[in-house]
Amino acid sequence: MASLSSSAAAARATFMPSSCQSRPAGGGRMARLVTRAAASSPKLPSGRRLRVAVVGGGPAGGAAAEALAKGGVETVLIERKLDNCKPCGGAIPLCMVSEFDLPLDLIDRKVRKMKMISPSNVAVDIGGTLAPHEYIGMIRREVLDAYLRSRAEGAGAEVVNGLFLRYEAPKEPNGSYLVHYNHYDSSSGKAGGEKRTFEVDAIVGADGANSRVAKEMGAGDYEYAIAFQERVKIPDDKMKYYEERAEMYVGDDVSPDFYGWVFPKCDHVAVGTGTVTHKPDIKKFQAATRLRAKDRIEGGKIIRVEAHPIPEHPRPKRVAGRVTLVGDAAGYVTKCSGEGIYFAAKSGLMCAEAIVAGSANGTRMVEESDLRKYLAEFDRLYWPTYKVLDVLQKVFYRSNAAREAFVEMCADDYVQKMTFDSYLYKRVVPGNPLDDIKLAVNTIGSLVRATALRREMEKVSL
């Protein structure tokens, strides 16, 4: 459920803890890992290559499998539903297109304008600071996932249609994992699939928020939001409004701790909302979101209803032995905006690169320490982004007054520029200090005014 319009700079200027280094998150490939390429771990017997199972064929799994296969590792990608339309906001940042070499025809729509709507319907347009080549790409998950999987296959990975069941840990230190799965093969005629096993040296769990690999390895639970979405086909003249525009609604009626959205898809819109703390009321929040967007989706037909959990924070354990988690399975979804696709793909890529480096291109056995290197690198690169969004959520999503201030802040050009920069390129760029101070003052001013109005509101009796 990706989106943006978080005033990243506001939080940076006002609330950035001193311990947080905002180093530019660019490049940082694992050059230093190669020099320590597991010279201590044993060479694989009889010159066989390292075998890795990637469980889950979404963005994380696809990116991981491709990088592993390219690096000379024998890769098996297990996906339970090859035509899966995973419920998703479907927004990807610009850097994903360049970092993963995505062809532009994958992108259904280029969103260049966003409308932020406060609880009292104050509407702010953002996107005016975007350069002509900048946009938020809206994709269909079934299209993106299939593309990444086909690239993995092209690089040499084996894509298997099956459901991962469980794995057995090795009995000796350098033994293999035994993966049990249900193999689906339409030609065999078996309805439920046949149980099969195979041996691998390492497992990458990329099977999403309800990860089975995570359960098997005892990774622990996380808090999660329920995101609920209805796909609505609206008349063409109304669809024109959403040509390049997405909307974000904030308010207690729409969600107590998240936001409601209207995102354009290929030929329809997705209207949805989410919540962590009030999951049983999700239908009420959805009705409220539909009400707020009523005039613009009137006459639309709901063609699909979908829901999915979104993790709120990483699992307590992300690696155990030679099994590790990436993407939603690990819990790499940002707060405030709920963005997950890019971090899933990037974490899959980084995990694969760590495995390739730690195994010296598939010739040596990997160890848990190699997988921990991927965790360390990922945490180092993206911790500032996650922390900033967490602070934004804590400050701006806690009450209607805070949300009013939030929307007011979004009207500021500097905020828009910083927000888009940090979203599109995933870098926390230090801005002009004078502007930052002005921004901090404006933020505090907005919050104070909104809180003051809130106190007046309590006195009003209608």
Residues 262-301 that bind another protein (CB under 8 A): 276-278, 281-284, 287-288, 291-296
What is d(CA 462, CA 442) in angstroms, rounded to the nearest whole number? Answer: 31
| Whole-angstrom distance, CA of residue 422 vs CA of residue 149 | 28
Q: Is 316 in the site for another protein (CB under 8 A)?
A: yes
Least Å distance, CB 334 to another protein, is 11
Residue ranges in 58-87 that form contacts with another protein under rule CB under 8 A: 84-87
Would you say 137 and 89 are in contact if contact means Cβ atoms under 8 Å apart?
Answer: no
Structure tokens at 108: 């259904």
Least distance between another protein and beta carbon 151 (Å): 23
Residues 209-228 within binding reach of another protein (CB under 8 A)? 209-210, 220, 222, 228
Chosen residue from 241, 244, 361, 427 binding another protein by CB under 8 A: 241
Does residue 17 belong to the site contacting another protein (CB under 8 A)? yes
Shortest CB 103 distance to another protein, Å: 25
Phi, psi of 6 (to 5 degrees): -110, 135
Q: How far is the CB of 6 from another protein (least distance, A)?
A: 15
Using the rule CB under 8 A, is 453 a contact of another protein? Answer: yes
Dihedral through CA 390, CA 394, CA 396, CA 397, nearest 10?
100
Question: What's the min distance (Å) between Cβ of 449 and another protein?
Answer: 5
Give CA–CA dist 97/28, Å, rounded. 18
Residues within window 122-141 making contact with another protein, judged by CB under 8 A: 122-123
Only segment of 21-29, 51-59, 308-316, 346-354 that touches another protein (CB under 8 A)? 308-316
Sites for another protein among residues 322-361 (CB under 8 A)? 335
What radius of gyration, in Å, describes the C-alpha atoms of the chain? 23
C-beta of residue 68 within 8 angstroms of C-beta of residue 370:
no
- Residue selected from 306, 361, 431, 438 as contacting another protein according to rule CB under 8 A: 306
Question: How many angstroms separate the CA atoms of 165 and 220, rounded?
Answer: 18
399 to 418: interface string for another protein, x by CB under 8 A: xx---x---x--x-------
Tell which one of 51, 318, 322, 417 touches another protein (CB under 8 A): 318
- Out of 99, 134, 390, 435, the residue judged to bind another protein by CB under 8 A: 390
Judged by CB under 8 A, which stretch of 171-179, 181-189, 344-352, 381-389 contacts another protein?
381-389
208-226 burial code (b ≥16 CB/10 A, e <16): bbebbbbebbebeebebbb
CB of 237 to another protein, least distance (A): 13
The verdict on 375 binding another protein (CB under 8 A) reads yes
Question: What spatial distance separates the first Cα and last Cα of the chain, rounded to whole Å?
Answer: 37
SS3 state of residue 337: coil
Query: Is there binding between residue 108 and another protein (CB under 8 A)?
Result: no
| Shortest Cβ 69–another protein spacing (Å) | 27
Q: How many CB atoms lie within 10 A of CB 390?
A: 16
The CA–CA distances, whole Å, from 175 to 74, 167, 240, 280, 321 equal 16, 13, 59, 46, 11
Q: Which of 74, 79, 145, 253 binds another protein (CB under 8 A)?
A: 253
